[in-house]
Every structure is written in C-alpha cells, then in structure tokens.
C-alpha cells in the first residue's frame, strides 16, 4: 500500500460524489486514483463541474468496470440504492467499502424490499456491514470492511435522539420529527418537481407519512430503547442548495426536565469535534454549518407540559453524506478522525 489511501469514487458525477472529491482534494492522506460515472463516463470532472475548473488533473470519469481495482484501497459508493450494492458486491475483499447509499443500512432484507421496492442485491454482505453513524460507531469502525453511511435525515435525528433515549430521558412514543432540506438532497438527476420554477419561493412537504428514512431511524431508536419504536417524520423541501434542519418534539420521561437533556448532551458531546450543543437560547440554523462537517444542536422548552423541542442542523452533503463518509474512512484506516474535515463553515 502506498503511504496514502488510494481511493475510487463511484458516482463522482453526482452531488455526494463531487463533494467527496472536493474534500479528498485537500485531505492529506487521500489519493484519488479513480472516478466513475454512468452516463457521464468519458467526461472530465472540470467539464461537468464548474467548481473543479482549477483541478484539471483529476482523473477522467470512467465506467466502474474500467477501474484498475488493484490500485484501490478504499471505494466510496455514491450511487443510487441497488446499483450500489450490485457493484460493490463484485469487489475483491481486500478493498474497503464506504457506501453512501441506503443498501447496507437496514438489517433485514424484508424491510429493505418493502421500502425500496427491490430485492436486496447482496444480502450476504449485510451481516458484516457497520452502520456508520460515526460518533456512535467508533469501536466497530477500525476493523470494518463495509461501512453503511446513514441517510442525511437519520444522521441529524439520531445524533439528537440517541443520547437522550439511551439515558432514559425521553419516552419511546410520540417522537415527531419535522425536517427541512435543501434541493441537493434529491441528487443531480433532472426531476421536474425540482426545477427552479417549481421550488423557488416555495416550501412543501414530500413523502408525507411514507419517507424511506423512517425504518432506518426506527431500527436504531428501537435498539436504543430496547423495544420496537415508531416515529413520525415529515421532510420539507426548501429553495436552498444545501442544508438540513430538524425540529424534533419529544415527551420527557417521568420526572425528567429540560436541564437533564442539556446535561446529557453536555456530557455526551463535550469532547466531540463535530457535534456542538449551542449556548442556551441560541437557535440552530443551516447557515451555521454550511459546507462543514459540524452539527449544531439545542434544546428548548415546549409550552405543552412534559414535552421538549430539540433542534439540529447539518449540511446534508457533508455531515449528512460525504464528510461523515470521510470521517468513517479516517477511523477505518487509523487516521485522526478530523483529518481533512477541519474546514470552518462557509459564510455568508
Ligand atoms: N444528496 C444527498 O444529500 C445524499 C445522498 N445520499 C445517497 O447517496 C447516493 C448518491 O446520491 P447523490 O450524489 O445525491 O445522487 P446523484 O443523482 O447526484 O448522483 C448519482 C451518481 O450515480 C451514478 N449512477 C446512476 N445510476 C448508476 C448506475 N446504474 N451505475 C453506475 N452509476 C450510476 C450517476 O452517474 P451519471 O451522472 O453518469 O448518470 C451519478 O454519478 C444515493 O444513494 C443517495 O440516496 C445519502 C445522503 C445524502
Ligand atoms: C430532497 C431529497 O429528496 N432528499 C432525499 C434525501 C437523500 C438521502 O439521504 O437518500 P438515501 O437514504 O436514499 O441515501 C430524500 O428525501 O430522499
């Protein structure tokens, strides 16, 4: 192995793949050896991405079957679900996999089939897959061959809910998550509902009562509560490029207070480089984290007795996908966890 981790990015012509490349360019221990696409194979990154104009030496996009896999130590799967598992399951066991799709997040293939509408292409890989919510998965990452990065909505929701669920501070019922997202969450493919005229000067919910991230959140929350949990989750599309904000209403467990929630986050996240409990009263907003791997979080009282409001913001393309993927890679390869991810948020 060379002194750097030689990486391939599958889906480098998509939004998460491109943001991964953006971060990899300045990562001191990553060397980009291959970039793959589907319809855009054959094109140069600088031709399809205006922000890569200064980086003409990036490898040209190829189809995955044209990659010299002997040169690759780690692969990032930035592909649609099913296509991702199909391709990744053909790779040599030596190559470590960081998958950003939904393919290896759910433990059971029946739930996957129900929500994703396809038969799982590689069920034999599920057992060894580590659910890569980094802050919760550290001990299992060093030896992992396959890491399934969480969806963008579950990332913010679970980082907010898991500590207080595990500490018995909230009830396992009536958890309501309302989320706002930027349009890059839907990928670069053209969809008429995401055209400028359809989304500008507007805000609208989608996948109401039926979003695919619910089973993923329920899987992890059920583990934390030690019993099956159902949640209510409604995403809303906003006319912004990046960013995700989640407002979560919870019921406090008997005798627990807002101060208990705050103390729990202070203890759990005090040493975390990327998770920040804001000072009392400060409201999280997407502009606080844009372009960075940070998450900001705060807790607020609800007028309804016995409830609390938890709010978190992340950048869907960084902490919600490519940044978290690199954070996982750093731990898989024994590197400092924050390597290549130290950039401050972009503002204004
Ligand atoms: N966008 C986001 O905020 C997040 C996305 N994700 C997940 O990450 C994955 C990538 O998302 P995103 O970057 O937004 O998607 P995009 O639609 O922007 O990009 C998809 C990429 O996959 C390639 N591709 C499509 N179909 C195939 C195929 N059959 N075989 C090989 N390559 C193919 C495309 O190539 P070409 O352009 O040549 O057609 C493109 O490079 C998805 O699974 C998504 O759900 C996860 C967290 C957040
Ligand atoms: C705005 C928008 O459409 N966002 C996407 C989130 C992308 C994501 O995280 O999807 P996967 O779980 O498939 O990886 C969505 O709501 O489906």
pLDDT single digits (tens) 170-187: 999 999 999 999 999 999
The DSSP secondary-structure symbol of 318 reads: I
Domain membership of residue 330 (yes or no) is no
Say whether the ipTM exceeds 0.90. yes
Contacts of 8 (CB under 8 A, 6+ apart): 33, 34, 35, 36, 67, 69, 72, 74, 75, 76
Domain membership of residue 24 (yes or no) is yes
pLDDT digits (tens, 9 = 90+) for 286-296: 999 999 999 99
Number of domains in the chain: 2
Domain membership of residue 109 (yes or no) is yes
Atom of ligand 2 nearest to the CA of 235: 16
Closest CA to 185 of 237, 117, 115, 132: 237
Residue 249 Cα to ligand 1 midpoint, Å, equals 31
Residue 22 and residue 81 in one domain? yes
Going through the chain in order, the beta strands assigned E by DSSP cover: 5-10, 30-36, 61-62, 74-77, 96-99, 130-131, 146-148, 176-181, 204-205, 232-237, 244-251, 275-277, 295-301, 307-314
- CATH number where 58 lies: 3.40.50.720
Residue 158 and residue 296 in one domain? yes
Q: How far is the C-alpha of 98 from the C-alpha of 153, rounded, in Å?
A: 18
Helix, strand or coil, per DSSP, at residue 309: strand
Q: How far is the C-alpha of 25 from the C-alpha of 158, rounded, in Å?
A: 29
Residue 283 and residue 186 in one domain? yes
Domain membership of residue 226 (yes or no) is yes
Atom of ligand 2 nearest to the CA of 101: 14
Report field, pTM of the whole predicted structure over 0.90? yes
Domain membership of residue 43 (yes or no) is yes
Domain membership of residue 105 (yes or no) is yes
Residue 208 and residue 302 in one domain? yes
Question: CA 137 → CA 131, 149, 264, distances in Å?
Answer: 7, 11, 19
Domain extent at residue 89? 5-128
Determine the residue of 212, 233, 318, 322 to mutate for testing ligand 2's pocket, defined as the one with the most ligand atoms within 8 A of the Cβ atom.
Answer: 212
* Cβ atoms of 286 and 137 closer than 8 Å: no
Residue 211 Cα to ligand 2 midpoint, Å, equals 9
- CATH number where 233 lies: 3.30.360.10
- Give the model's confidence band at 1: pLDDT under 50 very low, under 70 low, under 90 confident, else very high: very low
Residue 219 Cα to ligand 1 midpoint, Å, equals 24
Residue 49 and residue 121 in one domain? yes
- Give the model's confidence band at 193: pLDDT under 50 very low, under 70 low, under 90 confident, else very high: confident
Residue 84 and residue 227 in one domain? no
Residue 299 and residue 177 in one domain? yes
Residue 207 and residue 311 in one domain? yes
- Give the model's confidence band at 2: pLDDT under 50 very low, under 70 low, under 90 confident, else very high: low
Residue 191 buriedness (CB in 10 A; 0-12 / 13-18 / 19+)? exposed
């Amino acid at each position: 192995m060379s002194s750097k981790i030689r990486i391939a990015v599958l889906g480098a012509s998509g939004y998460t793949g491109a943001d991964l490349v953006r971060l990899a360019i300045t990562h001191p221990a990553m060397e980009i050896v291959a970039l793959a696409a589907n319809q855009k194979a054959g094109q140069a990154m600088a031709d399809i991405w205006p922000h890569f104009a200064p980086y003409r030496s990036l490898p040209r996009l190829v189809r995955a079957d044209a990659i010299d896999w002997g040169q690759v130590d780690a692969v990032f799967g930035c592909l649609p679900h099913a296509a991702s598992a199909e391709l990744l399951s053909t790779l040599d066991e030596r190559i470590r996999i960081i998958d950003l799709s939904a393919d290896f997040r759910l433990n059971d293939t029946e739930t996957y089939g129900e929500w994703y509408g396809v038969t799982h292409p590689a069920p034999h890989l599920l057992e060894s897959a580590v659910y890569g919510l980094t802050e919760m998965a550290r001990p299992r990452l060093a030896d992992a061959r396959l890491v399934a990065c969480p969806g963008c909505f579950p990332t913010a929701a679970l980082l907010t809910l898991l500590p207080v669920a595990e500490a018995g501070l909230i009830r396992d019922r009536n958890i309501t998550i309302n989320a706002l997202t930027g349009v890059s969450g839907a990928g670069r493919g053209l969809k008429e509902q995401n055209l400028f005229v359809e989304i500008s000067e507007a805000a609208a919910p989608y996948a109401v009562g039926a979003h695919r991230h619910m089973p993923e959140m329920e899987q992890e929350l059920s583990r934390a509560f030690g019993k099956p949990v159902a949640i209510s989750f409604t995403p809303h599309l906003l006319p912004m490029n990046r960013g995700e904000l989640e407002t979560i209403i919870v019921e406090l467990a008997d005798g627990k207070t807002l101060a208990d929630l705050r103390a729990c986050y202070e203890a759990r996240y005090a040493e975390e480089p990327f998770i920040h409990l804001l000072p009392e009263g400060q409201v999280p907003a997407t502009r606080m984290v844009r372009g960075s791997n940070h998450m900001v979080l705060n807790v607020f009282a609800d007028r309804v007795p016995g409830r609390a409001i938890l709010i978190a913001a992340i950048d869907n393309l960084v902490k919600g996908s490519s940044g978290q993927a690199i954070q996982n890679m750093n731990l898989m390869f024994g590197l400092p966890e924050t390597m290549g991810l130290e950039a401050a948020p972009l503002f204004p």
